[in-house]
Amino acid sequence: MKLGSAQRKDTRRRLSRVLFYVVLAVIAIYLVFPFYWAIRSAIVPDAVQFATPVVYWPENPSLENFRQVLATGQFRRALLNSAIVAGTVTLLSLAVGAMGAYALGRFRFRGSTPVRYIILSMTMFPSISVLGGLYTLITQFGLYNKLGALVYSYLIFTLPFTVWVLMTFFRQLPRDLEEAAYVDGASPFQTFWRIMLPLSAPGLVTTGLLAFIAAWNEFLYALSFTQTPDKRTITLAIFYFSPQTGGGFEIPWGQMMAATVIVTLPLIVLTLIFQRRIIAGLTAGAVKG
């Protein structure tokens, strides 16, 4: 009698263990399959790409699609444009944002609370809600169809976010270091530049990476403020791979997937390297329930 119930308990435990791994496997497949499919589509020739029934495991993969994509000037131009825009935006946000975050995180002064509220509300600001004003400003100042327009407009989402996350980093640093620097006769700027900034390097790396990814992935402003192919960022270049009316042979899906893989791989590598810091950065600050 006793043995029977113990056995039943044992099978139940084993069964729930199996169920657990089944759920795990389903989740893993759901997450990974689209990537597998992008890679599969990138390494098969068109003859296999557009064959029915669908070929799941390609027999003889080729890098022809990658070669063709990298050979087009427009794609390389777009990679360069994205790197220029995202890099500039990141550096500007870090420089300006670190100073602002230092002021908000380390100084007590009147008016700091309203400023913090303004910054916080801006981190949740929908990009679309300023599009009319931005678009008019950009055309007025002759920035339309220039990469400068993107640098300018991307600051709207990178800067508040940078200030907010760095502020929480600065707050965690011990006070004595700053005071020791003052006692040793360092000016406030020296203290900031020589002591506080190096100490917050991990925070700078995280926020910089997040700002870079946000700028690299942006689409709405890039679509609205540029016109000619030579000013396209990478998201635009990949968007224009397919005409709206498409469906069928005229879209070079293999090349597009190759381009997608090329653009995605560095992001995946960066994300995997910095995963812990990214998670910390994403959950820092924000709203507390």
Partner 1 sequence: MSRPAIAEPRRAALPLRRWRTMTLAERQAWLAWLFLLPALLVVIAVAMIPLAQTLYFSFTDKRLGALEPEQWVGLENYRFLLSDSLWWTAVKVTVQFTVITVALEFLLGLLIALVVNSRFPGRGPMRAAMLVPWAIPTVLSAQMWKWMYNDIFGVINDLLKRVGLIEQNIAWLARPDTSLIAVASIDIWKTTPFVALLLLAGLQVIPDELYEAATVDGANRIRQFFTITLPLLRPAIVVALIFRTLDALRVFDVFYVLFGARPDMQTMAVYAQNYIVAFSDVGYGSAISVAIFLVIAIFVVAYVTTLKVEVQT
Contacts of partner 1 in 27-56 (CB under 8 A): 27-28, 30-32, 34-35, 37-38, 41, 49-54, 56
Q: How many CB atoms lie within 10 A of CB 4?
A: 8
Task: For 172-204, give the DSSP string.
Answer: HS-HHHHHHHHHTT--HHHIIIIIIHHHTHHHH
Q: Which two tokens stand for residue 21?
A: 């791994």
Figure out which of the listed residues 44, 81, 85, 102 binds partner 1, where binding follows CB under 8 A.
Answer: 102
Which one of residues 72, 172, 190, 264 is an interface residue with partner 1 (CB under 8 A)?
264
Distance CA 282, CA 274 (A): 12
Instruction: Give the three-state DSSP class for 244.
Output: coil
Q: How far is CA 85 from CA 148, 149, 216, in A?
A: 8, 10, 8
Backbone angles phi, psi at 146, to 5 degrees: -125, 150
Q: Is the peptide bond before 45 cis (omega within 30 degrees of 0)?
A: no
From candidates 69, 119, 181, 258, binder to partner 1 by CB under 8 A: 119
Min separation Cβ 43 and partner 1, Å: 14
Sign of the alpha-carbon torsion through 267, 270, 275, 280? negative
5 vs 283 by CB, closer to partner 1: 283
CA distance 254 to 187: 58
State the Cα–Cα distance between residues 65 and 44, nearest whole angstrom: 8
Q: Which of 120, 195, 197, 205 binds partner 1 (CB under 8 A)?
A: 120
Verify binding: residue 181, partner 1, rule CB under 8 A. no
Is 77 or 116 the residue whose CB approaches partner 1 more closely? 116
Identify which of residues 3 and 175 has a Cβ nearer to partner 1 in the complex. Answer: 175
For partner 1, give the closer residue by CB, 3 or 114: 114
Does position 117 interact with partner 1 (CB under 8 A)? The reply is: yes
Of residues 198-227, those binding partner 1 (CB under 8 A):
213, 216-217, 219-220, 223-224
Determine, following the binding rule CB under 8 A, whether residue 286 of this chain makes contact with partner 1.
yes
In the complex, the smallest distance separating the C-beta of residue 11 from partner 1, rounded to whole angstroms, is 18
Q: How many residues bind partner 1 (CB under 8 A)?
A: 104
Distance CA 255, CA 65 (A): 5
Closest CA to 281 of 207, 198, 170: 207
Q: Does 272 bind partner 1 (CB under 8 A)?
A: yes
Does residue 234 bind partner 1 (CB under 8 A)? Answer: yes
Restricted to residues 122-161, the positions that interact with partner 1 (CB under 8 A) are: 122, 124-137, 139, 152-153, 155-156, 159-160
Q: What is the closest distance, in whole angstroms, from the C-beta atom of residue 34 to partner 1 in the complex?
A: 5
- Is residue 271 part of the contact set for partner 1 (CB under 8 A)? yes
SS3 of residue 66 by DSSP: helix
Distance of CA 73 to the CA centre of its chain: 25
Interface with partner 1, residue 275, by CB under 8 A: yes
Among 86, 150, 165, 238, binds partner 1 (CB under 8 A): 238
Site for partner 1 in 59-88 (CB under 8 A): none
